[in-house]
Amino acid sequence: MSRKAYFKPVKGAPAPLRAVCERPIRFEEVDPLGIVWHGRYPSYFEDGRVNLGNQYGIGYLDMKKYNVVAPIKQMHMDYIKPLAFGDTAHIEALLHWNEAARLNYEFIIRNNDGEITTTGYTVQLFVDGDQELLMCPPDFYMDVLESWKAGKL
């Protein structure tokens, strides 16, 4: 199954950073049909973001240390196949290269059989401790971009 890319490729950019985590589907997450209620998927995206951020030094606690946050500006989901109670969600998070003061995350969720069930993305913008939008990436993230571009991540 071919999918349309959520983010345009940047010429000369390094490959996306990626991380995968697993999460069992809990009974409280399913609706009367026995499938995961659509409103639960943002928390699966969050699991992917936290896992990737912690792996690459750009997690929420890293940002807090630098008095920066990155609230979600945009979120999109494509539901392909339902997850059900008893499944394990395999959440792949990809951070796409971008030199702006934003984080472009893509998510691919698979079931126990490796089938894609849900895809989507979030866009987060960097803001400072006063909730002022940053026009340039914060210094700590510039260091991450440098290491990423150099192939050290």
* Cα distance between residue 24 and residue 89, in whole Å: 6
Can you give the residue ranges of every domain in the chain?
18-149
Q: 69 and 63 in contact (C-beta within 8 Å)?
A: yes
Q: Name the CATH superfamily, with its identifier, for domain 18-149.
A: Hotdog Thioesterase (3.10.129.10)
pLDDT reading at 2 higher than 90: no
* Cα distance between residue 97 and residue 86, in whole Å: 35
Q: What is the pLDDT of residues 43-87, one digit of tens each?
A: 999 999 999 999 999 999 999 999 999 999 999 999 999 999 999
Percentage of the residues of the chain whose pLDDT score is greater than 70? 99
Residue 35's nearest CA partner among 96, 68, 79 is 79
